[in-house]
Amino acid sequence: MIQLLYGLYFPPIAELLEWPGILFNGTAFELNKVGLIYLWAMLAPLTIFVLAIRKSALVPKGVQTVAESSIDFVRENVVMQTIGPDGMRFMPFLLSLFFFIFFANITEVIPFIQFPANSRMAAPAVLAIIVWCVFNAVGIKSQGFFSYFKNTVIPPGVPGALLPLVAVIEFVSTFLVRPFSLAVRLFANMLAGHLLLVTFAVLTTALWTWGPLAAIVWAPFVVLIGLTGFEILVAFLQAFIFTILTAVYIGGALHPEH
């Protein structure tokens, strides 16, 4: 543990990320806090859309408004902007991806949970691998295996002398860097935000308990409130960025001329 003056200590990262099993302890099916958050991330959007369908009306209100607004947002700002009308068949996948990531992120600011599941690398890595499989499958299906590989690693108009170097760069960028960057971007942003919130929460608590320094407790507390609002925005933005990059990759595989 990292201990500072006057008894103030910040817990090590291991204590902030390692969660003991809650259910089925000691078995191969151990379920911890992170697993429960991912269950929440699956069930919460499913509940929203089921309730929206059951209570559908000509003039939307309540949960129906949330569901329809979300669909419109993903359709207009993700699918139509990156893929076009051909991308509507990928709408369920992209919408599910956006909601799953958002609900797994937003638990960072929910009281008594206060942990974003995507600050663990496993799920972002799995999501990135799924995206990698999807856009490559789309490219192979729409262009054929050899044409897709050729169009990916050999951009048009490249001089012959630079072709070997460009081909290697494009291969590494498309087939290796894309999934890695997707996973690391989501994981690193959520982990950094979590550590910032923990730091200022610990500092606020410590100052509150110290008599002479209680007068300045408002300073880290104000920063903590500001960071909480900022992390709500980050939770949304990271879900949006992951989803729109997925759409860009699918669009590139579907329309190689772009």
Q: Answer for the pair 65, 51: CB distance below 8 angstroms, yes or no.
A: no
Answer whether residue 214 shows pLDDT above 80: no
Range of lowest pLDDT (37-46, 66-75, 127-136, 157-166): 157-166
Q: Residues 139-193: pLDDT tens digits?
A: 999 999 999 999 888 877 778 788 888 889 999 999 999 999 999 999 999 999 9
The pLDDT mean for the chain works out to 85
What token pair was written down for 151?
């169009």
**Looking at residues 22-51, what average pLDDT do you find?**
81
H or E element that contains 2: strand 2-3
**Residue ranges in 55-121 assigned as alpha helix (H):** 63-74, 80-82, 91-106
* CA distance linking residue 227 with residue 257, whole number of Å: 42
Q: Residues 82-135: pLDDT tens digits?
A: 999 999 999 999 999 999 999 999 999 998 888 899 998 989 999 999 999 999
pLDDT at 209: 65
In terms of pTM, does the model score above 0.95?
no
Q: Answer for the pair 244, 78: CB distance below 8 angstroms, yes or no.
A: yes
pLDDT at 111: 86
pLDDT at 43: 95
